[in-house]
C-alpha cells in the first residue's frame, strides 16, 4: 500500500475464515452483545445502589421459593431447546416438534408463576413506586419477562414451521439461532435470581 | 431469507414493493437520505429561530413570529435531537452505509435485506413519533437533546407531559432501527466480501462504517436501560433519578454519556470514511498509512468507551474521577491526530484537483482540526470547569460534527451522485455551495468561541438581560447573520441536485477514474449489482502506480503476470 507499489501482482489470499460462519449466527451474537449492555447496565446500577440503599429489608418480601422454582423451569426449558436442536440435526421431526412445544410450554409456566408473584406482591402493597428495591425488581424482571415473551413468540413460529415440514436446513439454522437467544434469556435470569431474590 | 430470493421477489413485484417497501439496499439508502433531508429542513429551520432569538431577543422572527422561553427550550431540544439522531445517523450510516457497503465489498445486497427495510421503516415511525410530539397537550420535550434529569424526570419542571414520553419513545425506536442496521452493516462487511477482498483491502469507508456499527451496538445498551428507567419514573412512579426518594440524578448523565460520547464517533467515523475515499481520487495517489488509519480507528473505537465523564466535570460527580477521564480523553486525541495527519500526508505532492467533492473533503478536514484542537481545552478538567457551561462548548461541538456531517456528507453527495443517479452535478453551483457554506460556517462559530471564552452561558433564552454579557451581543448578531447566509447557501445545492438529476450530463461508469468496486458497475447500478460476482486482486487505492497504463487500477483488474499466475 505504498506509492511505489509494483504494478505486477500475484493472486492473493482468498477470504478469511469468517466466511464459514452463517451470517445469521454473527448477527445474533452481535444482537446479544448489545443486549448484554442493556441488562449489564441495569444490574451494574443495582449493585452500585445496593451499597447506599438498604435492599435487604425489602428483599425479604420477595417469594424466593417461587423464584427458585422459576429458575428450575427456565433452566429446564434451555435443556429442551437444545434437545430440539439435537433432534433437528438428527432429522427427527416428531422429537423436534415435541421439544419445541415443551420449550414454549415451560416459557408459559415461567410467565404464569411470575404473574402470580407480581399479583401477590402488589396485593401486599409492593408496587414499583414503593421504594428503590421494588423499582429495580419490577423494572428488571419486567424487562426480562418481555424477553421471555419474545422468545416464546419466536419458538411458536418455529413450532409452526416444524409442523408445516419446512426443509431441514431452514429448521436447523433457525432453531440454533433461536436457541442462542433463549439461552441468553436464561442466563440473564441466572443473574437476576441471586441479585433480587437472595439479597 | 437469502439475497437471491429477496431479489426474485423484487422483480416479480409491483410499484409499491419496488419503490416503497423495497428490500434493495440502493432504494433503502435513498429513502434514508430523503428522510434525513426532510428532517434537516426541520433541524435547520429550528436553528434559524434559535439564532434569531439570540441575536435580537424577543423580536418577531420574520416568517414565524415571536417565540417564548418555553418554545425556545423545545426548539433547542428539537434541534439537537433531530440533527444527531434523525439527520446525521440516517444520512451518514443509513444513506451512505447502505448504498456503498454492498457495492464496495462486491455484494448484491445487504446480508439481511428485509431487516434492512424494517430498519428504515422503524426509523420512519420514530420520526413520525417525534413530529407527533409537537401536537400533544402541554407541548413537546423541552429538556434538551440530552434530556437531563430532573428536567426530564418530573413534569413539574418543564410543564411537559406526553411530549417527553413521546421523545423517549422516538429515541428508543431510533435506537432499535440502528441496532438492526448496525448488525446488517457488520455481517455484510464481514461475510459478503468478494473473493480476494481481504479485510486489509477494504475501502476505508467500509472500515469506518463497520467500526461505527460496533461502537453503536456496544454503547447504546446503557442508554436503553436509562430510557426505560426514565420512562418508569415518569409513568410508573419509580424514583431511579429522584434524589428525594433515594434516586441519583447524576446516574442519568452517566448512562446518557456512556452512549453519548461513543455516538460522536458513530457519526464522525463514516464522515472520515467519505473524506478518505475522496482524497486519493482527487490527489491521484494512495492514502498515506492505510493500516495505521485502520488501527487508529479501532483504537479510537475502543477508547471511546472510557472517556464519557469528560461531559460531566461540572455535574457534581466525584471529583476524583476528573483526572482519569481527563487522561483518557487526551489519549483519544492521539488516534484521531494520526488519522488527520494521514489525511494531510495523503495530500502531500498529490495532483490535487479541486472539484466539488474534494473541496468539501478539504473543508471538512480543515474545520475538523479546529474542532479537535478546541476539544483538548474541554477534555482537560481544569479548563473545562471554566468553559463547560458556555458557548465555547457549542462552538466546539459544531466544529466536530459539522465537518463530518455537512462537509463529509456533501463531499460524499457530490462524489457518488453520478453513481446514484447516473448524471453529473454542476461544478459551478457546487463550488458556490462550498464557498458560501465554508465561509458562513466559520462566520457562525468563530464568534461563538469568543463569546464562550467571554463567559456567555449556553442554554439561556435571553442573554441580553445580563449586564455583563451586553458587550458580547455584537458577536451573537454576527453569528446569526452568518447562520442565515449558511441556510440560504444551501439553495444552490437544492437547485443543483434536482436540476442535475434530470438534466445533468449523463455519467459514465467511472467518471472520477476511481478504483473501488462500486465504480466497476453501471451508473446507477443495475439489479443485481454484480453479474458475475467480482474478484478482487488489489488494494483499494492504487493510483499513479509506476509503469501502469492509467493512473488508476481498479480493484478487480488483473494484470498480465497475475493472469498467468492464475492460469487464465
Inter-chain contact B183–A8, Cβ cutoff 8 Å? Answer: no
Residues constituting chain A: 199
Inter-chain contact B222–A37, Cβ cutoff 8 Å? Answer: yes
Which member of B218, B222, B248 has the closest CB to residue A33? B218
- Average pLDDT for A131-143: 96
Give me the CATH topology for the region B3-178+200-562.
Cytochrome C Oxidase; Chain A (1.20.210)
Strand partners, B423: B506
Could you tell me where the beta strands, DSSP code E, fall in B268-344?
A: none
| CB B178 within 8 Å of CB B119 | yes
Q: What's the pLDDT score for residue B531?
A: 84
| CB B294 within 8 Å of CB B200 | yes
Inter-chain contact B198–A15, Cβ cutoff 8 Å? Answer: yes
Chain A residues with CB-CB distance to B214 below 8 A: 30
End-to-end CA distance of chain B: 35
Q: Which own/partner contact pairs does B409-413 have at CB distance under 8 Å and 24+ positions apart? A: B409/B91, B409/B92, B409/B96, B409/B271, B409/B274, B410/B360, B410/B434, B410/B437, B410/B493, B411/B274, B411/B275, B411/B278, B411/B357, B411/B358, B411/B360, B411/B361, B411/B364, B412/B96, B412/B274, B412/B277, B412/B278, B412/B357, B413/B497
| Helix or strand run (H / E) with residue B174 | helix B162-191
Residue of B179, B191, B224 to mutate, interface with A, max A Cβ within 10 Å: B191
Q: What's the pLDDT score for residue A5?
A: 42
Inter-chain contact B565–A36, Cβ cutoff 8 Å? Answer: no
**What is the spatial distance between Cα B245 and Cα B241, in angstroms, rounded to a whole number?**
9
Cα A191–chain centre separation: 12
H-assigned helices in chain A: 23-52, 55-59, 64-89, 93-123, 132-163, 168-197
Q: Which residue has the cell 433503502?
A: B28
Q: Which residue has the cell 429515541?
A: B171
Mean pLDDT of chain A: 90
Nearest-CA distance A29 → chain B (Å): 9
Number of cross-chain residue pairs from A and B with Cβ atoms under 8 Å apart: 151
Strand partners, A21: none
**What is the spatial distance between Cα B213 and Cα B264, in angstroms, rounded to a whole number?**
12
Report the percentage of chain A scoring pLDDT > 90. Answer: 82
Residue of A24, A25, A38, A174 to mutate, interface with B, max B Cβ within 10 Å: A38
Inter-chain contact A18–B191, Cβ cutoff 8 Å? Answer: yes
Q: What's the pLDDT score for residue B425?
A: 97
**What is the spatial distance between Cα A178 and Cα A2, in angstroms, rounded to a whole number?**
46
Report whether pLDDT(A14) > 60.
no
Where along chain A do its domains lie? 23-197
Where along chain B do its domains lie? 3-178+200-562
CATH superfamily of A23-197: Cytochrome c oxidase, subunit III, four-helix bundle (1.20.120.80)
Q: Is the dihedral of CA B204, B207, B213, B216 positive or negative?
A: negative
Q: What's the pLDDT score for residue A8?
A: 40
Q: What's the pLDDT score for residue B357?
A: 97
**What is the spatial distance between Cα B383 and Cα B452, in angstroms, rounded to a whole number?**
12
**What is the spatial distance between Cα B289 and Cα A45, in angstroms, rounded to a whole number?**
42
Please identify among residues 244-263 of chain B the ones whose CB lies closer than 8 Å to any CB of chain A: 245-248, 251, 255, 258
DSSP type of residue B193: P
Report whether pLDDT(A3) > 80.
no
Inter-chain contact B561–A131, Cβ cutoff 8 Å? Answer: no
Which member of B255, B542, B558 has the closest CB to residue A41? B255
| CB B375 within 8 Å of CB B403 | no
Q: What's the pLDDT score for residue A19?
A: 60
| CB B329 within 8 Å of CB B379 | yes
**What is the spatial distance between Cα B227 and Cα B211, in angstroms, rounded to a whole number?**
24
Q: What's the pLDDT score for residue B25?
A: 95
Q: What is the DSSP string of B452-470?
A: HHTT-BSS-S-GGGSGGGG
Report whether pLDDT(A11) > 60.
no
**What is the spatial distance between Cα B523 and Cα B506, in angstroms, rounded to a whole number?**
9
**CB neighbours of A131 closer than 8 A, spacing ≥ 6?**
A58, B245, B246
Q: What's the pLDDT score for residue B336?
A: 96
Report whether pLDDT(A1) > 50.
no
Inter-chain contact B559–A13, Cβ cutoff 8 Å? Answer: no
Report whether pLDDT(A18) > 80.
no
H-assigned helices in B56-146: 69-81, 98-105, 113-132
Chain A residues with CB-CB distance to B192 below 8 A: 23
Nearest-CA distance B522 → chain A (Å): 26
Point out the residues of chain B with pLDDT beneath 70: 1-13, 559-568
Amino acid at each position: 500500500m505504498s506509492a511505489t507499489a509494483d504494478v505486477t501482482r500475484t493472486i492473493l489470499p482468498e477470504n478469511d475464515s469468517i466466511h464459514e460462519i452463517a451470517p445469521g449466527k454473527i448477527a445474533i451474537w452481535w444482537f446479544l452483545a448489545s443486549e448484554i449492555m442493556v441488562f449489564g447496565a441495569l444490574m451494574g446500577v443495582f449493585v452500585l445502589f445496593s451499597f447506599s440503599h438498604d435492599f435487604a429489608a425489602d428483599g425479604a418480601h420477595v417469594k424466593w421459593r417461587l423464584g427458585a422454582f422459576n429458575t428450575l423451569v427456565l433452566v429446564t426449558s434451555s435443556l429442551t431447546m437444545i434437545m430440539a436442536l439435537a433432534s433437528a440435526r438428527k432429522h427427527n421431526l416428531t422429537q423436534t416438534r415435541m421439544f419445541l412445544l415443551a420449550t414454549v410450554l415451560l416459557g408459559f409456566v415461567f410467565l404464569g408463576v411470575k404473574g402470580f408473584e407480581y399479583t401477590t406482591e402488589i396485593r401486599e402493597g409492593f408496587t414499583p413506586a414503593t421504594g428503590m428495591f421494588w423499582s429495580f425488581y419490577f423494572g428488571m424482571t419486567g424487562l426480562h419477562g418481555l424477553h421471555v415473551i419474545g422468545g416464546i413468540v419466536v419458538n411458536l413460529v418455529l413450532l409452526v414451521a416444524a409442523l408445516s415440514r419446512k426443509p431441514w436446513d431452514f429448521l436447523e439454522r433457525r432453531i440454533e439461532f433461536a436457541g442462542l437467544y433463549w439461552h441468553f434469556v436464561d442466563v440473564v435470569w441466572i443473574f437476576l435470581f441471586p441479585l433480587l431474590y437472595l439479597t | 431469507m437469502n439475497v437471491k430470493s429477496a431479489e426474485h421477489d423484487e422483480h416479480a413485484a409491483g410499484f409499491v414493493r419496488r419503490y416503497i417497501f423495497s428490500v434493495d439496499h440502493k432504494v433503502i439508502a435513498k429513502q434514508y437520505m430523503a428522510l434525513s433531508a426532510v428532517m434537516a429542513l426541520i433541524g435547520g429551520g429550528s436553528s434559524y429561530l434559535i439564532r434569531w432569538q439570540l441575536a435580537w431577543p424577543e423580536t418577531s422572527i420574520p416568517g414565524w413570529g415571536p417565540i417564548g422561553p418555553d418554545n425556545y427550550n423545545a426548539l433547542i431540544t428539537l434541534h439537537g435531537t433531530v440533527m444527531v439522531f434523525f439527520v446525521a445517523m440516517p444520512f451518514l450510516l443509513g444513506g451512505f452505509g447502505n448504498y456503498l457497503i454492498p457495492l464496495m465489498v462486491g455484494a448484491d445486497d445487504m446480508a439481511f435485506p428485509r431487516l434492512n427495510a424494517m430498519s428504515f421503516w422503524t426509523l420512519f415511525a420514530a420520526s413520525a413519533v417525534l413530529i407527533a410530539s409537537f401536537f400533544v397537550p402541554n407541548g413537546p420535550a423541552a429538556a434538551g437533546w440530552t434530556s437531563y434529569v430532573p428536567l426530564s424526570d418530573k413534569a413539574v419542571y418543564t410543564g411537559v407531559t406526553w411530549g417527553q414520553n413521546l421523545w423517549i419513545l422516538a429515541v428508543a425506536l431510533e435506537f432499535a432501527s440502528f441496532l438492526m442496521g448496525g448488525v446488517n452493516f457488520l455481517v455484510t462487511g464481514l461475510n459478503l466480501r468478494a473473493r480476494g477482498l481481504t479485510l486489509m483491502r477494504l475501502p476505508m469507508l467500509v472500515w469506518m462504517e463497520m467500526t461505527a456499527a460496533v461502537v453503536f451496538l456496544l454503547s447504546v445498551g446503557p442508554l436503553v436501560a436509562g430510557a426505560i428507567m426514565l420512562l418508569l419514573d415518569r409513568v410508573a412512579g419509580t424514583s431511579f433519578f429522584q434524589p428525594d426518594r433515594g434516586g441519583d440524578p447524576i446516574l442519568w448523565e452517566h448512562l446518557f454519556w456512556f452512549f453519548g460520547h461513543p455516538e460522536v464517533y458513530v457519526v464522525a467515523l463514516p464522515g472520515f470514511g467519505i473524506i478518505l475515499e475522496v482524497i486519493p481520487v482527487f490527489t491521484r495517489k494512495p492514502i498515506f498509512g492505510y493500516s495505521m488509519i485502520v488501527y487508529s480507528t479501532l483504537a479510537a473505537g475502543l477508547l471511546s468507551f472510557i472517556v464519557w465523564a469528560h461531559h460531566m466535570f461540572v455535574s457534581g460527580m466525584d471529583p476524583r474521577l476528573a483526572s482519569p477521564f481527563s487522561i483518557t480523553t487526551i489519549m483519544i486525541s492521539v488516534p484521531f491526530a494520526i488519522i488527520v495527519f494521514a489525511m494531510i500526508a495523503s495530500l502531500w505532492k498529490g495532483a490535487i484537483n479541486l472539484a466539488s467533492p474534494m473541496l468539501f473533503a478539504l473543508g471538512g478536514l480543515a474545520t475538523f482540526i479546529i474542532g479537535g484542537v478546541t476539544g483538548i481545552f474541554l477534555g482537560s478538567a481544569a479548563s473545562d470547569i471554566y468553559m463547560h457551561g458556555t458557548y465555547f462548548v457549542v462552538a466546539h461541538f459544531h466544529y466536530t460534527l459539522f465537518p463530518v456531517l455537512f462537509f463529509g456528507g456533501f463531499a460524499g453527495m457530490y462524489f457518488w451522485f453520478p453513481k446514484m443517479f447516473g448524471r453529473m452535478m454542476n461544478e459551478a453551483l457546487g463550488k458556490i455551495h462550498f464557498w458560501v457554506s465554508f465561509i458562513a460556517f466559520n462566520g457562525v462559530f468563530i464568534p461563538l468561541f469568543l463569546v464562550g471564552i467571554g463567559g456567555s452561558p449556553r442554554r439561556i433564552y435571553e442573554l441580553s438581560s445580563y449586564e455583563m454579557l451586553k458587550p458580547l451581543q455584537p458577536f451573537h448578531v454576527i453569528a446569526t447573520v452568518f447562520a442565515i447566509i449558511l441556510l440560504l447557501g444551501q439553495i444552490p445545492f437544492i437547485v443543483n441536485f434536482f436540476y442535475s438529476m434530470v438534466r445533468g450530463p449523463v455519467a459514465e461508469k467511472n467518471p472520477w477514474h476511481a478504483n473501488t468496486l462500486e465504480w466497476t458497475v453501471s451508473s446507477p447500478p443495475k439489479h443485481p449489482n454484480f453479474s458475475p460476482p467480482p474478484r478482487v486482486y488489489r488494494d483499494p487505492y492504487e493510483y499513479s502506480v509506476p509503469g501502469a497504463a492509467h493512473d488508476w487500477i481498479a480493484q478487480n483488474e488483473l494484470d498480465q503476470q497475475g493472469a498467468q499466475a492464475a492460469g487464465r
